Copies of this chain bind each other. A is one copy, B any other.
Amino acid sequence: MPLSKERVLDAAVKLADREGLESCAMRRLADELGVGAMSLYYHVSSKDELITGMVDIVFSEIELPSTDGDWKTAMRQCAISKRNVLNRHRWAIGLLESQATPGPASFRVHNAEIGYLREAFSVEMTIQACSVLDAYIYGFALQEKMAPFENAEGAAALAEQQAREFEAQAEQQQLAALADEFPYLAEVVAGHVAKVGYDFTEAFEYGLDLILEALETRRDTA
């Protein structure tokens, strides 16, 4: 099977998924493909182009619902799919919006989103809605990426474990001082997250619906 741009990009995405973006070096990627390092440069002009291509693959995985339903459910599905894709490819989170030259898959997604919204909103309002929703989705994915746990149980477990260490350790004074200095934060972390945990999916959809409903209200009262 010959090398090709597609094969290179696919391998790069898989490698980044598996071992992180920093492991996705040219020599390493070439090894993965059983090929010399410089061979990659025939199909990809630079590492920047490689990453641009990888990002566009990520965009292409976003599912765009048909234009049948109303704008709200369409945007909702779109947002949820976006978050899922971003969670499959966490390395892409800081890059999606920071690409100098967006690829075709990026155009496709934005065009579809604007299409859904234009059905119900003015051009000005469509731009605003797109901006707010996109910002929320990327920002949420960013938070999710850095969180040291995966789900509600994990969050509760981690918080509880830290509470245990809190009592057991000799650093107790320091941590107690910390809780003293930041009482509100301590209340939330120790008093709530440790008990019921934190469910990212639930939190995401709560905020998403909050924004969607607010947009609807703005439209009706405009």
Q: Which residues of A contact B (CB under 8 A)?
A: 94, 97-100, 107-108, 110-112, 114-115, 118, 123-124, 126-128, 131-132, 134-140, 142-143, 145-146, 148, 178, 181-185, 187-188, 191-193, 198, 203, 206-207, 210-211, 213-215, 217-218
Contacts and interface: CB of A to CB of B under 8 A. Distances in A.
A107 B191 contact: no
B136 A136 contact: yes
A75 to B, nearest CB: 13
A34 to B, nearest CB: 31
A127 B185 contact: no
Number of this chain's copies in the assembly equals 2
A134 B128 contact: no
Contacts of A191: 123
Contact of A210 (B118, B182, B215): B215
A143 B127 CA distance: 13
Contacts of A112: 184
B107 A146 contact: no
Contact of A142 (B139, B184, B203, B206): B139
Contacts of A111: 181-185
Given A126-B188, A127-B198, 10 more contacts: A107-B178, A111-B181, A111-B184, A111-B185, A112-B184, A127-B188, A135-B135, A135-B142, A135-B143, A139-B140
A183 B123 CA distance: 13
Contacts of A97: 142-143, 145-146
Contacts of A143: 97, 131, 134-135, 138
**3 residue pairs, one from A and one from B, having the closest CB atoms:** A139-B139, A135-B139, A214-B214
Nearest to A98: B146
A136 B132 contact: yes
Contacts of A210: 132, 211, 214-215, 218
22 contacts: A94-B94, A94-B98, A97-B143, A98-B145, A111-B181, A111-B184, A112-B184, A114-B187, A118-B184, A123-B192, A126-B188, A127-B188, A127-B192, A128-B203, A131-B140, A131-B207, A132-B207, A135-B140, A135-B142, A135-B207, A139-B139, A139-B142
